[in-house]
Amino acid sequence: MTETQTRKADHIRICLNEDVQFNQITNGLERYRFTHCCLPEIDRHEIDLSTEFLGKTLGAPLLISSMTGGTQQAQTINFRLAEIAQTYQLAMGVGSQRVAVENPQVADTFAVRSLAPDILLLANLGAVQLNYSYGLDECLRVVELLAADALILHLNPLQECIQTNGDTNFRGLLDKIHKLCCKLPVPVIAKEVGNGISAAMTQKLLDAGVSAIDVAGAGGTSWAKVESERALNLKQRRLGQTFADWGLPTADCITSIRDIAPYVPLIASGGLRNGLEVAKAIALGADLAGLAFPFLQAASESTEAVDELVELLIAEITTVLFCTGNANLSQLRQSDALKKLG
């Protein structure tokens, strides 16, 4: 097993078995509450959760966020997720495909398109790899491997700082992202990995040609904690502990980005754990809501567990719309049902 494959296996094990969630920072959504409507004047069975994102129609505003690949366990997880994504027409991202570029023999652990021919499917590479010999060819390769509709470039400076021998040369990346966006035949999505994207950084990324933003804010899994668990020396372990609660809460990212970019395709992720939080994120202005940890837990168990999770999420989102008197997601966004507390 290569070093990258070992890291991927460690990430799954640690996320499932260790306490690597943010402790002091939340996703910020608890600061908002929906106003209950006691007489909705709509039929719950007619509520429509469908939406569009990057030209694809989705059955619900849900993204199975990027998680894994490169190992046998990862393949099982990805295949289970893809099967259910197809059933409910959800969007899905895969974990970083760097491992497949380094070792083409594990490419099939990402190859989910045959199981999900119609979904919005997102390829994934670390943006920093553009400073470590990666370029258009490698990006095209991972997009083609997946038959993907878009490419996620994930931004993870804190994780790379904590990771032993992490890739920390981020100099000049905006210019390289701009050149890639000009040449790549599919849209590019900029995504953090759990520490958030600010409005100022969003503007720079949009100016560079990025088509969509996934805020991936603080409040869920702390990758500083994850890498601290993997650390090979005391310094790296202590670094991870010090920065365990570093980042911008997801709710703050959504609202600040919407202030400066009202129409950019926007994904809210980072600590979302149920359909009520999904609905809050949508009401704040997100187009999709991404969840990772709940899907990782379910997919590690069975395909049926993933199906049950999606059924629950859909029921929770539908209940919010019903109990706020909104028949669809557009009405929810335009309503004033969500209020900030205090």
Q: What is the spatial distance between Cα 190 and Cα 202, in angstroms, rounded to a whole number? A: 9
What does the pLDDT average to over 326-339?
98
Task: Name every residue whose Cβ is closer than 8 Å to that of residue 272 and which is 6 or more positions away in sequence.
Answer: 27, 29, 220, 250, 278, 281, 289, 290, 291
A 10 A CB-CB count for 76 gives 16
Task: Name every residue whose Cβ is closer than 8 Å to that of residue 50 and which is 6 or more positions away in sequence.
Answer: 57, 58, 59, 60, 328, 329
pLDDT in the model for residue 128: 98
The mean pLDDT of the chain is 97
Q: Give residue 6's pLDDT band: very low, low, confident or very high (50, 70, 90).
A: confident
pLDDT tens digits, one per residue of 245-282: 999 999 999 999 999 999 999 999 999 999 999 999 99
